[in-house]
Amino acid sequence: MSRIRHCWTAAAAALALASAGGCALVEGDAGEDDGAPSQNAEVSLEGVESFYGEYDGIVALKTALAEGEIAVTDLEHPWITQQEHVDGLVGWDGEALPYELHPPAGGNHLSQWQTCTGSVYDGPLVDGYAVHSMEHGAVWLTYDPELLDQASIDALALLIDKRDYSLMSPYPGQGVAVSLQSWGHRYQTEDAADPVIEAYLDEYVLNERFNPEPNATCAGGITATFE
């Protein structure tokens, strides 16, 4: 088992991502405005998957359920409402949880959360701990180590390192280079320099519309990985 790995400073993130993605600087005099869009321009979140159906987040969905507008059995993804700590239930046999998605983006989970204080892990995580982190409002960035080189992994780590309510780990066999999960949402891309990655973090970390357990901490959780 390995422990949590903290890396670098976020100051070099943009440079590292540009290098990993094969980007080049645009020719021109320093400080000259050539009319090109600013790097800080708003990035579209097109391509983000939502598992809430017609509802605009967990709050709206739970309200609809409470008022009888819809039943859990009517949901395409009923796990979106499931928040049981399975290791506290009588009869739990210790088996891995049967998530619909891999990596998962919500559902029943374990009673401990994975520390998610801008935490970069060298090894894979137990899904049930990471799902608990997402219940607290975290975004989990995973990558397939067979599909990314080390420079790209290091660049992604710069986006996570010390960003509270986020965590990053390898997820062997996930089948896509980069996947971001938060409770009820997912974004996947083959490009480690995809600007939507950082935009997703900005949008979904501690987003109150999608946070099933507001004001829960990301500190003091599990820091171990498994191989």
Question: 218 and 116 in contact (C-beta within 8 Å)?
Answer: yes
What pLDDT does 35 receive? 44
The reported pLDDT for the residue numbered 136 is: 97
Residues in the chain, pLDDT under 50: 1-12, 14-15, 17-40
Closest CA to 169 of 204, 140, 201: 140
**pLDDT tens, 23-32?**
333 333 334 4
pLDDT of residue 163: 96
Q: What is the pLDDT of residues 44-63, one digit of tens each?
A: 899 999 999 999 999 999 99
pLDDT of residue 13: 53
Distance (Å, whole) CA 106 – CA 128? 9
Specify the pLDDT at position 41: 57
**Angle (CA) 213 144 157, round 5°:** 65
* Distance between CA atoms of residues 157 and 92, nearest Å: 35
176 vs 44: CA distance, rounded Å: 20
